[in-house]
Chain A
Amino acid sequence: MVSFPETWRFQVNAANGRIKIGNDLFVLKLLTFTNAESEHSGFFMILRILILSIGWLSMVAGLGNGQEVNFNQEIRPILSKHCLACHGTDPGQRKADLRLDRREDALAVIEPGDVDASDAFARITSNDDDRMPPAEHGGALSIDEIDLIRKWIEQGAPFQTHWSFVAPVKAQLPVLNEQLSRWTRNEIDQFVAAKLSQLELQPSAEAEPRRLIRRVALDLTGLPPSIEMVERFVASPTDETYGEIVDELLASPGYGEHWAAMWLDVARYADTIGYASDTNRIIWPWRDWVIDAFNSNLPYDQFTIEQIAGDLLPEATVDQILATAFHRNTLNNSEGGTSDEEFRTIAVKDRISTTINAWMGLTLRCAECHTHKYDPISQTEYYQFLDFFNQTMDEDKNDEQPLLDVYPKGREDELARLDAQIEQLQRELAAAESVWKSLGTDQNGSPDETREKIENDESAELTAAEYKKKTLEPLKTKLEVAIKNRNAPIRVPVMVERTSDQARKTHVMTRGSYLQPAEEVKAAVFDAFPPLPANAERSRLGVARWLVDAANPLTARVTVNRFWARVFGRGIVETEEDFGTQGSPPSNQALLDWVAVDFRENGWDVKRLLKQIVTSSTYRQTGVVSVERVRADPVNAFLSRGPRFRMRAEVIRDQALAVSGLLSAKQFGPPVYPPNPVKSVRSAFAGDTVWVESQGEDRYRRAIYTYLKRSSPHPLFDTFDMATREVCNLRRVRTNTPLQSFMTLNDRTFIEAAQSLAARMLLKSDSSTKQIQHGLELALLRPGSPDQISALEQLYSEMRQVYSAAPEDASQMTDAMESFGVDEETRRVKSVELAALTVVANVILNLDAFLTK
């Protein structure tokens, strides 16, 4: 008797309701098992009838129903999940000397076209101990999975290369019905519409104009639009006006700051070196290079080449060498007793992981210790690739050598201060010289016995020589130092290649340990991908060219997917960081590939790509969620509605400062210190780092300029999902937590923003209704609804009562008002109104509609 396997019973149970027509043969086979079973519970009887009827239905519908199984979409995920850990690319882990990742090897256990003759199929459907995969590896395949394998074998067991390892091509634009055609504005829409039509979904209506302009401004610049911009579009809501506005946003300086912030996650940028001491690192000129690169729309291929290997370009400019600081954002361990070679090696490994992850969306770290189990990267290849990056001069030294001298912009304030100091010293020196001369002595400073009283210094009776020694010379030295400081360059860690006679030998490291070198290897790229382009240098520069070569199947896809995900909240490939065989499949590959190829063919033009995205009808849809849409597409993977989600950390803060009129437009320069409740951090072995709050405009700079200490970032960042800046991070996982509410409700910056917004409201009008209307409009860029206004008016009048009775509270609630354009007199007379309006403004700055784009 054949017994019904326990696991199947469970899976049938789990599969209840999702058994599809098309489970024909296998279902019948299953029935044989069930029929032979002696215990007939009522449940299983019913189940059997259900399965039987489905089986019959599909028999009627036609055996096998002719649907071709897609290896990449349907079979590879099964192999990858259940089989490849032991039967994959890694010889060290391979069991039974069987590989299932290549067809020629898999044919040992698969007979194309004949399920019954395929050992593999017998093993996955076995009830005995030899069932594959074994229990400790997750247990049996599900019914659906087994059925797919069966069909695939029947169809000849064809293999395909993993989708993302095949270079993308532009598919023919889909043909749409007239209604959908009318909806489309560009090619993106055509691919999206085709997908929606397959799924029997309709696109959503266009977003309301004010909300659309707010959304597009926040998406492109991380800042709200001006009211003027909104009104311009409301007055003339045409594609032409919209296009002009998009161009203006792309040309605004805020654009580069916004997108650079994204790149800093990729580059694991911070203002400290990491590890235990986590001391200061001056690398902000590179951050400004990134902002400039985005603003000047440096083509992405050039952006790539300069950051990876700008130092190796012929006649490299200072800026091109500065770009290579990208890979000097690796950690440096200055703790006593640590091996520099160990941490140099870790940094080099991090560089190759980051490079391959950021540009090609693949993860390398597995291959550091053993051949990658899932993706076609062997351990030897890992170290061959590492050899390219193993040739730079940096060695985890405490001084971070090699350094590049730069004279960056953004230091105007600091330089002005130094200039003033120099001027002051020069004046003092001139005065001192005249005093010295007035002593009427030997200019050579030889001893002179006459002593004279020096003006303003009753006690000092000095000889000219003494005066020269005690006053004149120290002043001169001070001035020299000041001038030297004034003209000193900023020294930034960069990549510098060792000369060829000093080239390092690279070895495979046994289990990844630098102390256990195995065979020596020479630089090479991975076999599974196209070779280095013809004439490409065998160096980092060659690698950079290889990344952006037209033959590279991944870089363009990974890049457009990343920009896409920032705008839509989710990538076409959801796992932005993993385009390998374990990553999620694209929700619309034709769309991704078309946009990727188009991006590359048009000169890797990022602004053009973003414009293409935000001018599409797909983007311009409303974010309103309806029952049908949520049911059909819960996470909006297929884009039947517009994007609507809580914005990233930087934007949350910058937007609050912008609408309250506090945001500084100052760009570039050394990092700044906005209010932070964590006043000092004592790191192991490095003493205290004290957070001295910036004053004036530096308090309100964009978040990208906030000093970032790796071991203790400003709470804004980790509260709002920024991963630590220790390793490359391609995607922040969005959360919604009470600690976030604490921050926007109570953080000093947000309170100052509320006070400043309240000041703007008060100065607008004498009518509280108008004040509230003004506040809402400043924040949300649209007039408040009567319900919104009346709720806020009610709060306002309550608060007036509260604060009339508590003048001390009112004064505390308005403590910084005088910095926000409210004169002392007004603050005193209107302190109750101002306090009440501050509470109202605090509410406005915490609205879901405000925190969400």
Chain B
Amino acid sequence: MNLNQHQESVRNQARMMTRRHFLSRCNSGLGTLALAQLAGSSLIGDERASDTDNPLAAKPPTIPARAKNVIYLHMAGSPPQLELFDYKPELERRNMEPCPDELLEGKTFAFIKGKPKLMGPNYKFKQYGESGAWISETLPHLATCADDICFVKSMYTEQFNHAPAQLLLHTGNPQFGGASFGSWVTYGLGTENSNLPGYIVMVSGGTNPSGGKSLWGSSYLPSIYQGVQCRSEGDPVLYVGNPKGMTRETRRASLDTINTLNRLELQEYGDPETLTRIRQYELAYRMQVAVPEVMDISRESKSTLESYGAEPGKASFANNCLLARRLVEQGVRFIQLFDWGWDIHGTGPHDDLQTQFPNKCNGLDRPATALIKDLKQRGMLDDTLVVWGGEFGRTPMNEARNGSKYFGRDHHPDCFTVWMAGGGVKVGSHGATDDLGYKVAEDGVSVRDLQATLLHMLGLDPYKLSFPFQGLNQRWIGPANSPEVRHELLS
């Protein structure tokens, strides 16, 4: 059966599956009815639908997979690649020289006006590991993982404002209305642990990313595939806690009564949807235990907490990295982290290269390193794809907005660095920018190429993973077939 047919059938999966479930358990006499007659031909012979009760049930990949799970670390605002991984001695040499005219011709920047100056890297670089990866002094811990990482230095995008660039990266469409990476993956692969959401989102840095909740929305995909935001304050998942004055035993008794009455309704009305509702209430009851348990990092050893720099009860990127590992361990398919504060323009100490940037690097370095090492030590790194990056790059020129004395860089879509670890990536550096770090010079990887490659690694054919909506088979990689799976990034 081809994948498109399957997906067309999944379109009504929520409804369809209720019918099947109904048949298998219903005690009103309908259960004997042959499944095939009810469900229509579309689901018959769908060997991929292993547990048809549940649209989030794990499904095997459609092509050979390298990774099973994803942890995506998005640095909202976009970190300066020239201070982190893309070392440019020539730029260093020409520090504070006027930017050559040919680089400015016909270009529009978000903030830079007039004739900006080139600015060399503000931090020292060294090579690490057998691969000889260049990493700056801002990330000393991560440097020890150099040989676990695939650095893609030749990324480029089409967008140079935050929200459209984030939307393009995560939803495949610079405007609102696309479905996010995690929703595509859970739609394609389901999830392993039915007591937890399959797609979890956590935000640190105190601010939501510019693209807002749409970055983890499901858009035209059924909303069951949207990201569930876990929070560090209040209920970890909204409403997971019983109201004050209601114990878990009381909840059990009340759910039993709801189910009893719903079964009476089912006998009278025979609506398969009623049976699904009974099931969803039971699932909710199990989630009430599973979610707080998995979100409680105080269960981790002291040394683990220390390695991440995590502190129970605080909202931090470190805590979120540790939670990401716990969630993957529990069979959650997709974990999306957003960390705010990387928009290093240099308009003041809150967004410059001397104050804010090293703070952000400190907050990133240990947790990200611990995540890779922890996954590796537990034998989970092979199955788990860790992706790190922003939504675009930053200019090799100092922004100097309104004559600012602070150093910073403007938005730059033409080149940036993304790195990946685990999940069968090829360790080492890929691609290169020109001597000034202004444009891609070798082996450019577009955002859409990256998307095609990521889906491919997860065992989903990026060209075939689609959902019919508004007259088009919508895909994460967009309507054109030009995005390429970049096999050179895979081991």
Contact = CB atoms under 8 A, between A and B. Distances in A.
Interface string B231-256: 00011011111111111011101101
Given A681-B208, A682-B208, A333 B163 contact: yes
Nearest to A734: B14
Contacts of A852: 271, 273-274
B472 A582 contact: yes
A843 B269 CA distance: 19
A811 B246 CA distance: 11
Given A634-B40, A711-B208, A842 B254 contact: yes
Contact of A646 (B238, B261, B273, B281): B273
A454 to B, nearest CB: 47
A424 B274 CA distance: 58
A746 B213 contact: no
A627 B38 CA distance: 9
Given A623-B269, A644-B271, A684-B207, A346 B76 contact: no
B114 interface: no
Interface centre among B163, B274, B471, by most chain A C-beta atoms within 10 angstroms, is: B471
A785 B276 CA distance: 23
A767 interface: no
Q: Which of A713, A747, A843 has the most CB of B within 10 A?
A: A843
A403 B183 CA distance: 39
A809 B246 contact: yes
Contacts of A745: 239, 242, 251, 284
Given A682-B206, A727-B177, A811-B245, A736 B470 contact: no
A42 interface: no
A336 B111 contact: yes
Contact of B244 (A337, A736, A812, A843): A812
Contacts of A623: 269, 271
Contacts of B108: 339
B257 interface: yes
Interface residue range, chain B: 35 or more
Interface string A178-222: 000000000000000000000000000000000000000000000
Contact of A848 (B12, B235, B274): B274
Nearest to A835: B245
B212 interface: yes
Contacts of A741: 277, 280-281, 283-284
A14 to B, nearest CB: 7
Given A335-B161, A851-B277, A631 B33 contact: yes
A336 B110 contact: yes
Interface stretch (A43-51, A281-289, A788-796): A788-796
Contacts of A727: 175-177
Given A276-B210, A813-B244, A839-B246, A718 B471 contact: no
Contact of B471 (A138, A581, A848): A581
Given A625-B271, A625-B272, A799-B250, A726 B177 contact: yes
B289 interface: no
Contact of A346 (B29, B110, B175, B260): B175
A839 B250 contact: yes
B283 A335 contact: no
Given A577-B470, A682-B207, A624 B269 contact: yes
A561 to B, nearest CB: 15
A375 B175 CA distance: 22
Contacts of B265: 847-849
Interface string A809-853: 111111100000000000000000001000100110011110110
Nearest to A849: B265
B471 A711 contact: no
Contact of A276 (B110, B163, B251): B163
A583 B471 CA distance: 6
B109 to A, nearest CB: 8
A502 interface: no
B145 interface: no
A795 B270 contact: no
B214 A726 contact: yes
Interface in A583-640: 583, 623-627, 630-631, 634-635
Contacts of B12: 635
B38 A366 contact: no
Given A630-B19, A736-B14, A338 B176 contact: no
Contacts of B211: 276
Nearest to A211: B269
Given A788-B261, A843-B258, A846-B258, A276 B162 contact: yes
Interface size on A, as a range, is: 35 or more
Contacts of A799: 250, 253
Residue of B235, B243, B244 with highest tally of chain A CB at under 10 A: B243
Nearest to B286: A738
A733 B272 contact: no
A751 B243 contact: yes
B262 interface: yes
B1 A14 contact: yes
A730 to B, nearest CB: 9
Interface string A363-378: 1011000000011000
Nearest to B195: A738
Interface in B1-50: 1-2, 4, 12, 14-15, 18-19, 29-30, 33, 37-41, 45
B214 A809 contact: no
A747 B241 CA distance: 9
A742 B290 CA distance: 14
Interface stretch (B65-73, B91-99, B221-229, B439-447): B221-229
Interface string A289-309: 000000000000000000000
B217 interface: yes
B287 interface: yes
Residue from B45, B207, B277, B470 having most chain A Cβ neighbours under 10 A: B470
A276 B251 CA distance: 40
B157 to A, nearest CB: 14
B209 interface: yes
B219 interface: yes
A18 interface: yes
Interface string A773-816: 00000000000010110011011001100100010111111110
B238 A677 contact: yes
A586 to B, nearest CB: 16
B105 interface: no
Nearest to B206: A682
Given A276-B210, A333-B163, A682-B206, A644 B269 contact: yes
A802 B249 CA distance: 9
Contacts of A794: 257
Interface string B85-127: 0000000000000000000000011110000000000000000
Contact of A715 (B39, B111, B238, B280): B238
A275 interface: yes
A627 B33 contact: yes
Nearest to A685: B210
B30 A624 contact: no
A839 B249 CA distance: 12
Interface of A: 14, 18, 136, 138-139, 274-276, 278, 331, 333, 335-339, 346, 357, 363, 365-366, 374-375, 577-578, 580-583, 623-627, 630-631, 634-635, 644-646, 677-678, 681-685, 710-713, 715, 718-719, 721, 723-724, 726-727, 733-743, 745-748, 751, 785, 787-788, 791-792, 794-795, 798-799, 802, 806, 808-815, 835, 839, 842-843, 846-849, 851-852
Listed from nearest, the 6 A-B pairs whose CB atoms lie closest are: A711-B212, A337-B110, A812-B245, A813-B245, A726-B176, A582-B471
Given A337-B410, A846-B281, 16 more contacts: A276-B211, A335-B162, A337-B411, A366-B471, A578-B470, A684-B162, A684-B207, A718-B213, A733-B223, A739-B237, A745-B239, A746-B241, A746-B243, A788-B264, A791-B264, A848-B265
12 contacts: A624-B268, A677-B235, A682-B207, A682-B208, A683-B208, A712-B212, A751-B243, A791-B261, A791-B264, A809-B245, A847-B262, A848-B274
